[in-house]
Amino acid sequence: MAKEIQYSGCTISEDPCICFEQLSKKEQKFLDENTVKIKYKKGEIICKQGSYASHIMSVESGLVKVYIDDGINSLVLKMIPEGSLLGLSSVNEEYTTFQYSATSYIDTVVNQINIVAFRKLLNKNPGFAKSVIDILNAKSVQINSRFFCLTHKQSYGRLADIILCLADRVFKKREFDLPLSRKDLAELSTMSAETVIRMLKKFKEDDLIVMDGKKLKIVDYDRLKRISETG
């Protein structure tokens, strides 16, 4: 029997903005003329669900939290690192407003691309449009994976996923300064902050990770991976 698919709660989609490579020199210049760069400090709001969307964004540097809320509860859809597109759902003329909110986990630089210009390029350059379709599809595959985990894995597995995601996809090393609070981790793995604390403690007791202040080091990657898979 072939190896089964392993879903992960990590939702850093590997979708660098390759679509822009599809643009001609002239189109690239046109895009640049319709782009502005904005810097955000940690914790600032990048876009707010429900507000008018005048631009598509790409994250130049930093780490962004993307979430939806209904006024009572909120759900973190994903965290996205540099190189990702943001607010793409607003290319659809029916969604004149942002479908989700975004804030910065850490200091972040975002390029705002005029939405009219972006749409113009879509309608002119099929290769560009095709590439955007590919990105959207990759995003949806990733979201489904996370969806699966949040509904089926239990807490230990979900938390392991986030830690592995940070190591593998965000920092690309096994030791890093954790930029997220316990509450942030709780939101990402849909559980309470208290539960996160208890489970981190357990991970430490079991010698899976070592924490010193903001420093987090994965000492038993394989076992953490196994917890992610089994649970």
Partner DNA sequence: TATTAAGTATGATTTAAATCAGTTTTAATA
Partner DNA sequence: TATTAAAACTGATTTAAATCATACTTAATA
**Interaction site with a copy of itself (CB under 8 A):** 2, 4-7, 49-50, 68, 70-73, 75, 77, 88-89, 91-95, 99-100, 119, 122-127, 129-130, 132-134, 136-141, 143-145, 147-148, 150-152, 190
Q: How far is the CB of 69 from DNA (least distance, A)?
A: 15
For a copy of itself, give the closer residue by CB, 13 or 111: 13
Each residue 107-146 as x (binds DNA by CB under 7 A) or -, in order, gives: ----------------------------------------
Q: Which two tokens stand for residue 225?
A: 């991976």
Q: How far is the CB of 159 from a copy of itself (least distance, A)?
A: 15
The C-alpha atoms of residue 211 and residue 17 are separated, in whole angstroms, by 34
**Residue 106 interacts with DNA (CB under 7 A)?**
no
**Residue 154 interacts with DNA (CB under 7 A)?**
yes
- Contacted entry of DNA, a copy of itself, none for residue 100, CB cut-off 5 to 8 Å set by kind: a copy of itself
What angle, 0 to 180 degrees and rounded to 10, lies between the N-to-C axes of helices 25-33 and 115-124? 160
The C-alpha atoms of residue 128 and residue 131 are separated, in whole angstroms, by 5
The answer to whether 89 touches 53, Cβ cutoff 8 Å, is no
Contacts with 1 (C-beta within 8 Å, 6 or more apart), sequence order = none
Q: How far is the CB of 165 from a copy of itself (least distance, A)?
A: 17
Closest Cα partner for 5 from 148, 112, 134? 148
* Interior angle at CA 131, CA 50 and CA 109, nearest 5: 50
List b or e across 61-85, with b for residues whose CB sees 16 or more CB atoms inside 10 angstroms. Answer: ebbbbbbeeeeeeeebbbbbbbebb
For a copy of itself, give the closer residue by CB, 7 or 40: 7
Q: Which of 124, 172, 173, 201 binds DNA (CB under 7 A)?
A: 201
Each residue 2-41 as x (binds DNA by CB under 7 A) or -, in order, gives: ----------------------------------------
**Residue 193 interacts with DNA (CB under 7 A)?**
yes
* Interior angle at CA 153, CA 163 and CA 201, nearest 5: 45
Q: How far is the CB of 74 from a copy of itself (least distance, A)?
A: 9
Find residue 68's DSSP bridge partners.
75
Q: Which two tokens stand for residue 163?
A: 């830690």
